[in-house]
Amino acid sequence: MRLSKNLTVVLLSFGLAVGATSTADAKVTAKQIEKATTVSELMELGATKLTAGQFKQLVVGHPMTDASKSWNWIIDKDGTTSSASVDGSWKEDAQPWSMKGDAYCTKLKGKTACRDTYMVGKYLRMSDQADPAKLSTWTAVVGK
């Protein structure tokens, strides 16, 4: 089944996160989403760039993990974010976050870093803080 990008945006706007097999190309897999290194590659897989409203509706308050379930993360409505490795090797509690336009922003080493956010089904990817045309190296699964 092929969905237009506009229909995908409408579905995401109503909080109906589409499964990876129901994206723009029904053959898209989690591995393809994880292997994408640039925003353009991810968009070709059917990703939607989230607006601030979509981000708050689809991501904020929803637990996240990676595909191997090695870490957990939540971006809370109270303006803080917390994450931790399952093995206990690292943990970050109550780190502040905000939105600047449609970008998700956090403070890293005293500087604010903002990233664009993209979803393909239940998978969240963010742009790289140093190069917004590239993607961060990790993929989050929203809603564990």
Domains of the chain: which residue ranges? 5-138
- pLDDT at residue number 26: 59
Q: Of all residues in the chain, what percent carry a pLDDT higher than 70?
A: 81
- pLDDT at residue number 102: 98
Supply the pTM of this predicted model.
0.80
The encoded tokens of residue 27 equal: 């053959």
Residue whose C-alpha is closest to residue 43's, from 71, 64, 24:
24
pLDDT at 108 over 70: yes
More confident residue, 15 or 67: 67
The CA distance from 4 to 25, in Å, is 10
